[in-house]
Amino acid sequence: MPVPVLCCGNASVGGAGKTTVVLDLVRRLRGRGIAVHCLTRGYGGRVRDVLRVDLVRHSAAAVGDEPLLLAAAAPTWIGADRAASASAAVAAGAEFLLMDDGLQNPGLNKTASLLIVDGAVGFGNGRVMPAGPLREPAGEAALRCRAAVLIGADQAGARAAVGDLPVLDAWLAPDRTLEGERVFAFCGIGRPGKFFETVAAAGAVLAGSARFADHHPYTMRDLDTVLAAAERLHARPLTTAKDAVRIAETLRPQIGVLGVRLMWRDESAVERMLDEVIG
């Protein structure tokens, strides 16, 4: 590629926080005046060909939920063929490519990769699927990365598992306060507990909750059940930004959305990493 390619991937299945990291890096690169585009497979959507995500025309059913979040921040391309997506993005004016996932995809040469790790679960039992949660051994993934991004306290020995790989420490914070507000929190993400922790950090009173599978396509029956439960508890229904794009537009005004911000222990280290990738 004639432009830098930075991959935000992980060694395990499930939600480690890749999209949150990508969104943070988009903001930093755009702040430098760099035309950054995002590349993602479009998991959960029916479209498989190379496509630029259009927030007006495309739904989560078509392109997946995460591409819609990314497209609200920067031009975003989906497609199983990452090299083809990258070529389309460069032809459209991209000066920097950010990959959301794809660490195990060899189809596109990467300038650098970041290994994203959820500190609460780390690399699980350290075994590769189906015996464990890993796509590949953590040590092998670390060898192909510039640094690890450890989100939250290291409760599962992730730092030791990546050996000498530099670690950028970060944590999630709610994007607003909900002090004293009664909420019924629901979500369909990789680790629902992370969202409930964020709700508590925002100061809300968690009156009740519901969990759905990751990328769950909400039906009207699902949402009727959620709204009824919230009403019984005299609470406001609340979900994540990722879940909100999978909810029928007619019902979105009735449901609150709580987003997250990525907080870095050393922001200067993040900026230096970007300097090195840009070259």
pLDDT in tens, 211-235: 999 999 999 999 999 999 999 999 9
Element (H, E) at 243: helix 241-244
Element (H, E) at 70: helix 65-71
pTM, to two decimals: 0.94
Q: What is the β-pairing status of strands 76-78 and 51-52?
A: antiparallel
Q: Which fold has domain 5-171+262-278?
A: Rossmann fold (3.40.50)
- Sign, CA torsion 38/43/49/51: negative
Strand partners, 113: 7
| Alpha-carbon distances, residue 71 vs 26, 37, 135, 209 (angstroms) | 11, 9, 27, 29
Q: What is the β-pairing status of strands 256-257 and 236-239?
A: parallel
d(C-alpha 39, C-alpha 70), whole Å: 9
Q: Do 80 and 34 form a contact (C-beta atoms < 8 A)?
A: no
Other beta carbons within 10 angstroms of residue 27's beta carbon come to 14
Position 195 confidence tier, pLDDT thresholds 50, 70, 90:
very high
Q: Where are the domains of the chain?
A: 5-171+262-278, 176-258
Q: What is the mean pLDDT of residues 189-212?
A: 96
d(C-alpha 97, C-alpha 249), whole Å: 31
Which pLDDT tens digit goes with each residue over 131-182?
999 999 999 999 999 999 999 999 999 999 999 999 999 999 999 999 999 9
Q: Do 274 and 29 form a contact (C-beta atoms < 8 A)?
A: yes
Strand partners, 211: 187
Position 278 confidence tier, pLDDT thresholds 50, 70, 90:
very high
d(C-alpha 65, C-alpha 42), whole Å: 8
Measure the CA dihedral 76/98/36/188, to 10°: 40
- Please name the residue that has the structure tokens 């993400």: 189
Q: Is the pLDDT of residue 264 over 90?
A: yes
Q: At what angle are helices 18-31 and 267-278 packed, to 10 degrees?
A: 70
What are the E-state strand segments in 119-163?
147-151
Strand partners, 149: 116, 168
Burial letters for 227-240: b for 16+ Cβ neighbours within 10 Å, e otherwise? eebbeeeebbbbbb
